[in-house]
Amino acid sequence: MAIVARRFGATDGRVRTPDGGEHYIFGFVDLTGVPEEEIFARRGRAQLPGPLLEADEGDEVFLTLTNLGMPTRPDLDDSHTIHWHGFPNQIPLWDGVPEASLSVPVGRDFVYYYRPRDPGTYMYHCHFEPVEHIQMGMVGPLIVRPALEKRPEFAGRRFAYNDPTTEYDREYLVFVTELDADAHAAVAGVQGFDWTEYRPEYWLLNGRSYPDTVRSGPELPRQPYSGLIFASPGEKVLLRCVNLGYQQHSLTILGITLRVVGVDAQPLRGKNGEDLSYYKNTLYFAGGQTMDVIFTAPEPGVYPLFNRNYHKNTNAGRTFGGMVSEVRVE
């Protein structure tokens, strides 16, 4: 069991959409290993989604949150938290709900501690005024890897859960959110926003909308996760799907059937070991849910991945855009 020490900063920044739009965000930036005197320079450099937090089952995770403040909104002295969504038996101190323990003001640090016991795909987000801070981008992916991988007979192999039938060769994040440009503009302009008027016009996969999802270069430094999925024929591919939006989404990959092996960081096994995994062509899931699905890569080709709510395959009304990417088998 290892000690995992990470440090995330909370700050603001900007993301781009393929139609030339630029949108003000709040978010996290990875400060792990950054010298103290360089931390100030990371203000305004939030990424979407936030840095991946990963640990092995049984590790001790010490996650420091540093509130760097908002250079674009110096008037805004909101505090922040990190909520590990789905962590079993958590205590309020590390649960990140300001109304139930504490939050981190500008210029302060706080250390969250986790000793994960259940492998799977989770998410983290800020829970301070969550309707604003989550939509503004304070979200990130979270993976716990099973102890099975450390058993000598499974050395070098990778599994989603402590279950040999969840073995995979490659894994990818499919992290879905939405973006309402009016809400982001209001926050940038120090204006109130009626959240019941939330009406996104961008649908994001790993913080990007198509065609940015199928770029893999360095041109989007604040949106570092490409949406491309690569595999060779016959390889088993694990998709870790996270919905941290405010809408329900319906993901499909043309020509590929998905085996659902885990939901909400729980392997699909009954209490008596029954195999409850199942096959789906379309994954329908709501905000705050995760799904782990495995497929075997078919013959070489390009297999579109998209949201079957077709109106979400757009950027501000223009086709194609939004929640569209590609599985490239080559």
Kindly state whether residue 194 participates in binding other proteins, applying the rule CB under 8 A. Answer: yes
Q: What residues contact residue 104 under an 8 Å CB cut-off, 6+ apart?
A: 10, 65, 66, 67, 79, 80, 81, 110
What's the Cα-to-Cα distance from 238 to each of 150, 154, 234, 269, rounded to whole Å?
19, 17, 13, 18
CB of 296 to other proteins, least distance (A): 25
Distance CA 302, CA 309 (A): 21
* Binding-site member from 72, 162, 247, 250 for other proteins (CB under 8 A): 247
Q: How many CB atoms lie within 10 A of CB 52?
A: 17
Kindly state whether residue 162 participates in binding other proteins, applying the rule CB under 8 A. Answer: no
Residues 130 to 149 in contact with other proteins, rule: CB under 8 A = 130-132, 134-135
Kindly state whether residue 6 participates in binding other proteins, applying the rule CB under 8 A. Answer: no
**Judged by CB, which is closer to other proteins: 161, or 210?**
161
Whether the Cβ atoms of residue 249 and residue 270 lie closer than 8 Å to each other: no
CB of 278 to other proteins, least distance (A): 12
From 14-22, 127-135, 146-154, 218-226, give the range in contact with other proteins by CB under 8 A: 127-135
Kindly state whether residue 99 participates in binding other proteins, applying the rule CB under 8 A. Answer: yes
Beta bridge partners of 266: 263
**Judged by CB, which is closer to other proteins: 81, or 325?**
81
E strand or H helix at 4: strand 3-16
Torsion of CA 313, 288, 285, 249, to 10 degrees: -10
**Judged by CB, which is closer to other proteins: 110, or 175?**
110
Tokens describing residue 66: 């540093």
* Binding-site member from 198, 235, 298, 309 for other proteins (CB under 8 A): 198
* Binding-site member from 21, 287, 298, 304 for other proteins (CB under 8 A): 287
**Judged by CB, which is closer to other proteins: 2, or 131?**
131
From 13-21, 100-108, 211-219, 231-239, give the range in contact with other proteins by CB under 8 A: 100-108
| Residue 284 amino acid letter | Y
Per-residue DSSP letters for 110-139?
EEEEE---S-EEEEEE--STHHHHHHTT-E
Kindly state whether residue 65 participates in binding other proteins, applying the rule CB under 8 A. Answer: no
Rule CB under 8 A: which residues touch other proteins?
A: 60, 62, 79, 83, 85-86, 88-93, 95, 97-105, 108-113, 115, 127, 129-132, 134-135, 193-198, 246-248, 263-266, 268, 270-272, 274, 276, 285-289
